[in-house]
A and B are shown apart, each in its own frame.
Chain A
Amino acid sequence: MKKKAAIISVGMTKFTSCRRETRSRAELAFAAVKDALSNAGLALKDIDASVYTSVDGFEATVRPARTLEAFGQGLNIPLIDVNTGGSAGGSGIKEAVHLIEAGIHDIVLVYGSPTFNSVVDNQQVLNTASPPIFEKPFGIGAVHMGAFYLSRYMRDHDLPEESYAEVASKNHRAAARNPYAHLRKGFSAEEVLASPMITSPIRLLECCPTSSGAVAMILASEKRAKELCDTPVWVRAMSSISDTFLSGFKTYRGFDKLKILAQKVYKAAGIKNPRKEIDVAELFNPFAGFELLEYEAVGFCKEGEARRLLEEHVTDVGGELPVNMSGGVVCTNSGISASVIRHAEVALQLMGKAEGRQVKSPSVGLAHSWGGNLGQFHTLAVLTL
């Protein structure tokens, strides 16, 4: 019989621009892990295993976990390194959940690294994740790959550019309420539309910044979670999916892999009507428009109806199903910590600890992470009180 796993604590630093960052990687890791431990009333020695999540090579070193000492190496704690591109945070949490569900460990620490915080030009680094020979020479990084989906969606659903600006503004306004977010200026849709085009149809303010900051999370077995936490957040169901590597091998018609994953995860969680049963969600949106495609993939609405959900403010502050109340990845993209944050934010919402951005008493949340060339990996988790 599978055991139950819960998120019992989150530790987060404030996020800032990678260019303004003065804290070292070691200091960020120390701060986030220390915060998570202190929120759980634990010491480092109480951790049974640590999971480190980032992308090799993107931190100007390979196997970056080896360069940080904040995960209990000094105390002989096992350290597991998980890398599934941008979704590594989700995959790392999933790994921790498995270790607990299998009864192997009781307390597991997950760390989300500020992957990109030493880059000089992020797209130069992201370009190295493109298939060499076949795609890298054409000058594509993540922002180009994202644009392929958004160009296609506009054409298939006759979507005006304004809808992408509206969903960007929804995130910017939410980030203004989140004391941890990087961009907190609350830009309007008009300001978004006036910002320069980067890779059509993506404008500057529809595009995530390169942020710096770190997040840690502690997961525990049922017994320990109940002892240590008043409001443990249970991982009711969580899974992941993978896709092919070449960008050209994808259809660009919506997020088909996420749709398959969502059906699988909802089945495991016993969710029949996600729109009604889910109270709060964090969907991975490094480019604002992704959020619309994700509404459809995770079943919040039918294909082509995401625009209506947005226009009816269903997913905005005070709406029936608030999405990305943190301001999303589009306002804070700290590399792999961004995929841990999706889960951390949902957990904080369910615990009632989402300072400044709290949704009224949610009990079921959805956390999504995205990674690799164009969604080569997705993870999805249903979290509950």
Chain B
Amino acid sequence: METASFMNKQYNMHLDFSLALGESFTKWMQALKDKKILGNTCPKCERIFVPAKPFCEICFEELKDWVETDGTGVVESFTVTYQKFRNCPEPPYVVGIIRIGKAATCMTHWIGGLDYKHPDEIPGKIKIGMKVEPVWKKERVGDPLDILYFKPVA
């Protein structure tokens, strides 16, 4: 092969970071320890944000009013991953776009607890508009991964 005479050199960029979460993300993460999914509301447009955030990007107002949701949500969209990607979970896995309560925005999380024999059946087991609820980890540290996944509401 002619191309055998060309060389490649491999290297990587393993870098470590520590991110300050600030007031609203900290409060939102802390509540996960108590199995609570909180949202916050814009005083002007009254949209509810889940996950919570520091300010409304449209009204540009600080979000100080908090609401507690019951944690259940609706699947707005989803995808079933069949391909293995580096640093990503083992396939198949389902990532859902989940609207919690009356939130104007959605959360990204896994959908699990599905009953199937072959991975090809998974997309058929999930309906957009389907109600889901969180399945919590026993040990919680205040992180979105305190929720193992969302499962269909029986």
Contact = CB atoms under 8 A, between A and B. Distances in A.
Interface of A: 20, 22, 57, 60, 120-121, 123-124, 127, 132-135, 137-141, 144, 147-149, 151-152, 155, 196-202, 244, 246-252
Closest 7 CB pairs of A and B: A139-B88, A147-B79, A124-B86, A22-B6, A248-B106, A123-B85, A121-B86
Contact of A139 (B89, B120, B123): B89
A330 B6 CA distance: 28
Contacts of A251: 76
Contacts of A252: 76-77, 97
B60 interface: no
Nearest to A137: B145
A138 B95 contact: yes
18 contacts: A20-B3, A132-B17, A133-B21, A133-B143, A134-B108, A138-B109, A139-B81, A139-B85, A139-B87, A139-B95, A141-B88, A151-B77, A151-B79, A196-B82, A200-B123, A201-B123, A246-B105, A250-B106
Interface of B: 3, 6, 10-13, 17, 19, 21, 25, 51, 57, 76-83, 85-89, 93, 95, 97-98, 105-110, 120, 122-123, 128, 143-145
Contacts of B87: 124, 127, 139
B108 A151 contact: no
A105 to B, nearest CB: 34
Give the most central of B77, B87, B109: most A CB within 10 Å: B77
A189 B37 CA distance: 44
Contacts of B105: 246, 248-249
Given A148-B77, A148-B78, A249-B105, 18 more contacts: A60-B12, A60-B13, A124-B88, A127-B85, A127-B88, A133-B25, A137-B144, A138-B95, A138-B110, A140-B88, A140-B108, A147-B79, A151-B77, A151-B79, A199-B80, A201-B79, A252-B77, A252-B97
Given A148-B79, A197-B82, A140 B95 contact: yes
Nearest to A132: B19
B10 A133 contact: no
A279 to B, nearest CB: 34
Nearest to A147: B79
- Which residue, A138, A140, A141, has most C-beta atoms of chain B within 10 A? A138
